[in-house]
Chain A
C-alpha cells in the first residue's frame, strides 16, 4: 500500500489586501502519495503559489489542515516548522533560489551544515548531488556565473541535499528556455524514479505539463480537475 505524503483538508486562504478580501484558496482537498510526480496548473491568480506555500509551511491557511508525512504542520509552532521544513521539504522557486555570495558547493553545503552533517560527509554528498544534476564542473562557480538553467539545477540539487520526502517547486522553469526546461524536468523525473522523492510543481508550460504523471488544475482557488496521465 502506498503511503500518503501530503494530505490537505478544506484548505482556504483569504488575503485581506486593502480591506478587500481575496479568496486565494477555497476548500481545497489534496491527497498525494509517496513517489508521485504531480503538476499543478491553472491560470494566473488561481492560487497555485498559495497552495504550495501552505503545503510547505511558508504561510498559514485561514482554515483547514495540512498533513505532511503524517505531521499536522498547520499546528506546528514557528521554530518547529522551520526544522520540519529543513528535514522534510525541499523548495525550488522561480528565481532567487541560491545565495548569491556562495558557490554551488557552498550553497548546497550550507543546507547540510544547517542539518549538522559532519564536514567530511558534506563534501562527498555535495559532489554526488552536483553529479546528479550534471553540474560537477561548476562546483566552485557562484550563481552569477551560471546560466538560468544551471542555477535552477543547482537549486534542485540544493533542495535534494537534506534528503527531503517532498520537493515543492513553484514555476521552476518559468525563466528558462525550452531546452533547459526539458533538461530540468528530465533531471526531476529521474530523481523521482531513482530516489522515490515526491515532486509537486506548478507550471504554465505545456511541455512541462506533459512530463507529469498527474495534473491538478486550479481555477479561482478551487480544484477544477485532477487527471492521471502517461508522461511523454
Chain B
C-alpha cells in the first residue's frame, strides 16, 4: 500500500516528476557521452601505440630486455616467424634486429636506436611507408639506406640523401662504423620516438653486427583480434619456452596506467555530474515534502509511524531515480552505439592532437564495466538524494504540521 501511495504521489505533480526524471536522464546521458568520447580518444591513442610501436606481443631473449645488447638473440627466428605467420589469429609478424648506437652528421652526433627491419613485413606494423614525408620506402634496394625522423633530421641538420655515419658495437664487442645515406624522412604520431628511432634493412644491420640471417632480437606479432591475446600469449610461451614473451601491457606499463586512470576519471566525472543531480533532486523532493506538511501531519495522526513516513518519501524519490537511471543509461548507450559507428570528426582540433598521437576521427566507445560503474553510482545517487527529504519529513511534529496551511 505504501508503495502504491508513493507511486501515485509522484504523479500528482507530473511536471515536477518529469523535470526530475529528465534531469537524471540528461545527467546520465552527458556523463556517459563524455566518458565514451574520452575513451574514444584514449583508445585511438592506445590502438596507435599498439599497432605501430608495440604490437600485441613481443618476443625477446630474456637478457635482451635488460641489457638491450644485440648479442642476445632469438635463434632460428625465421622458422619461428613462419610458424607464427601460419596461425590464423595472427595478422602480421616480423623479426627485427636492434642496436643502440651513435649517429653522426657533419655537424653533430646523437644517440639513436637502430632497427634492422624487413621492409615488406613492416608495412603492416611499423608502417614507416605511410609516415614518410620525404623519400621512397626502401625502393632503391640499396643496403646503405637509412630512414630517420623529421625531428632527428632537424637536430642533425641533414636532408634527404645526406650522408651519416652510425657507430655501434657488434656481438664481439668491436666498434663498428658504417656510412648510410638518408633514404627517407618520416613523421609518426609519436614525436618523441621520431627523434631516436632510425630504420635500416635487417640484412645490412645483421651483417654489420655479425648476426646470422636466421637470428634476430625481436619478434613482433600483431593479432587480428585483441580478445585472443591471452590464449595466444600462452601458446607462444609454450612454443618458445626459453624466451621472454610479453604483451603490450607488459611492454608499456604507462599505457596500462592510462587505462586505469581512465577508470578513475569515470568515477570522478560521473561523481561530479551525479552530485549536481543529487542537489537538484533533493531540492525538488524537499519542496514536495514541505508542500504536503499538513497531509503528512494527517498521516501521522491516523497512525502512520515514522518508519512508514520515511519509507514513503524514500520510495517516491527512488521511483523517480529508478525511472530516470535506466532511461538515461539507455539513451547514453544508444548514442554511443550510433556515434561509435559513425565517428566524430574533430578535424578542427586535430592539428594539435595529432602531435599527441590522436587521429582526427574519434569513435566514442565505452566498455560494460564503465556502464556498470555509472549505473551503480546512479543507484547511490538515488539513495542519497532520497534520504534527506525523507529525513526532513521525520522531523515534522504532527500537531504543528496540522496547524500549518
Which residues of A are in contact with B by a Cβ distance under 8 Å? 49, 53, 56, 58-59, 78-79, 82-83, 85-86, 91, 93, 96-97, 99-102, 106, 109-111, 113-115, 158, 162
Contact B299 A99 (CB under 8 A): yes
Q: Which residue of chain A lies nearest to B304 when distances are taken between CB atoms in the complex?
A: A114
Chain B residue numbers with a CB within 8 Å of A78 are 306
Which of B11, B302, B397, B399 has a CB less than 8 Å from the CB of A111? Answer: B302
Does B9 touch A at the CB level, under 8 Å? yes
Contact B12 A101 (CB under 8 A): yes
1/0 contact trace for B384-405 toward A, CB 8 Å? 0000000000000111101100
Does B303 touch A at the CB level, under 8 Å? yes
CA distance A131 to B36 in the complex (A): 62
Q: Return B294 CB to nearest CB of chain A, in Å.
A: 5
Q: Which residue of chain B lies nearest to A53 when distances are taken between CB atoms in the complex?
A: B399
Number of interface residues of B (CB under 8 A): 24
Apart from the given pairs A99-B5, A100-B12, 17 other A-B contacts in the complex at a CB distance below 8 Å: A58-B398, A58-B399, A59-B398, A59-B400, A78-B306, A79-B306, A83-B303, A85-B301, A86-B302, A91-B298, A91-B301, A93-B298, A96-B295, A101-B5, A101-B8, A101-B9, A102-B8
Q: Return A34 CB to nearest CB of chain B, in Å.
A: 22
Contact A114 B303 (CB under 8 A): yes
Contact A82 B295 (CB under 8 A): no
Interface set, chain B 171-216, CB cutoff 8 A to A: none
Does B305 touch A at the CB level, under 8 Å? yes
Chain A residue numbers with a CB within 8 Å of B298 are 91, 93, 96-97
Q: Which residue of chain B lies nearest to A56 when distances are taken between CB atoms in the complex?
A: B301
On whether A59 and B397 interact (CB within 8 A), knowing A85-B301, A97-B298, A158-B302, the answer reads: yes
CA distance A114 to B403 in the complex (A): 25
Contact A82 B303 (CB under 8 A): yes
Q: Return A14 CB to nearest CB of chain B, in Å.
A: 14
Does B300 touch A at the CB level, under 8 Å? yes
Chain A residue numbers with a CB within 8 Å of B398 are 58-59
On whether A102 and B300 interact (CB within 8 A), knowing A49-B403, A53-B399, the answer reads: no
Interface set, chain B 282-313, CB cutoff 8 A to A: 294-295, 298-306
Which residues of B are in contact with A by a Cβ distance under 8 Å? 1, 4-5, 8-9, 11-12, 294-295, 298-306, 397-400, 402-403
Which of A53, A59, A91 has a CB less than 8 Å from the CB of B302? Answer: A91
Chain B residue numbers with a CB within 8 Å of A162 are 303
CA distance A115 to B1 in the complex (A): 13
Q: Which residue of chain A lies nearest to B296 when distances are taken between CB atoms in the complex?
A: A96
CA distance A102 to B300 in the complex (A): 16
Contact A110 B1 (CB under 8 A): yes
Chain B residue numbers with a CB within 8 Å of A115 are 303
In this complex, the member of B295, B302, B304 whose beta carbon has the largest number of chain A beta carbons within 10 angstroms is B302
Chain A residue numbers with a CB within 8 Å of B303 are 82-83, 85-86, 111, 114-115, 162
Q: Which residue of chain A lies nearest to B402 when distances are taken between CB atoms in the complex?
A: A93
Chain A residue numbers with a CB within 8 Å of B1 are 106, 109-110, 113
On whether A58 and B402 interact (CB within 8 A), knowing A100-B12, A101-B5, A101-B12, the answer reads: yes
Chain B residue numbers with a CB within 8 Å of A82 are 300, 303-306
Q: Which residue of chain B lies nearest to A115 when distances are taken between CB atoms in the complex?
A: B303
Please list the 10 inter-chain residue pairs (A to B) with the smallest Cβ-Cβ separation, ordered nearest first: A86-B303, A101-B8, A59-B399, A58-B399, A53-B399, A96-B294, A58-B398, A82-B305, A91-B301, A114-B303
